[in-house]
Amino acid sequence: MPKAKVHSGAAKRFKKTAGGYKRKSAHKSHILTKMTTKRKRQLRGTSMIHKNDEVLIDRMLRAK
């Protein structure tokens, strides 16, 4: 059986957990000097993917 193709960008961005998929917060990659410390602290954590989007993530990661 051939190896299943995986969307490599999605594999780096999403992690499978028991409760679904988690992702990092957006807007945390550049122009950090203009952001307040409070805003950077709020963006530090991770978020869960909405249930409606899990089907798309499953398809990109070929998870079963």
Residues 29-57: tens digit of each pLDDT: 888 999 999 999 988 888 999 999 999 99
Rounded-to-integer distance, Cα 21 and Cα 17, Å: 6
Q: How many domains does the chain have?
A: 1
Instruction: Please indicate, yes or no, if residue 20 is contained in any of the structural domains.
Output: no
Instruction: Please indicate, yes or no, if residue 26 is contained in any of the structural domains.
Output: no
User: What's the confidence (pLDDT) of residue 45?
Assistant: 87
In order of 25, 28, 44, 46, 47, the CA distances from 37 in angstroms are 15, 12, 11, 17, 19
The answer to whether residue 1 scores a pLDDT higher than 80 is no
| pTM of this structure | 0.66
Containing 46, the helix (H) or strand (E) segment is strand 46-48
The answer to whether residue 64 scores a pLDDT higher than 60 is no
Percent of the chain past pLDDT 70, that is, above it, reads: 97
User: What's the confidence (pLDDT) of residue 63?
Assistant: 62
Instruction: Please indicate, yes or no, if residue 31 is contained in any of the structural domains.
Output: no
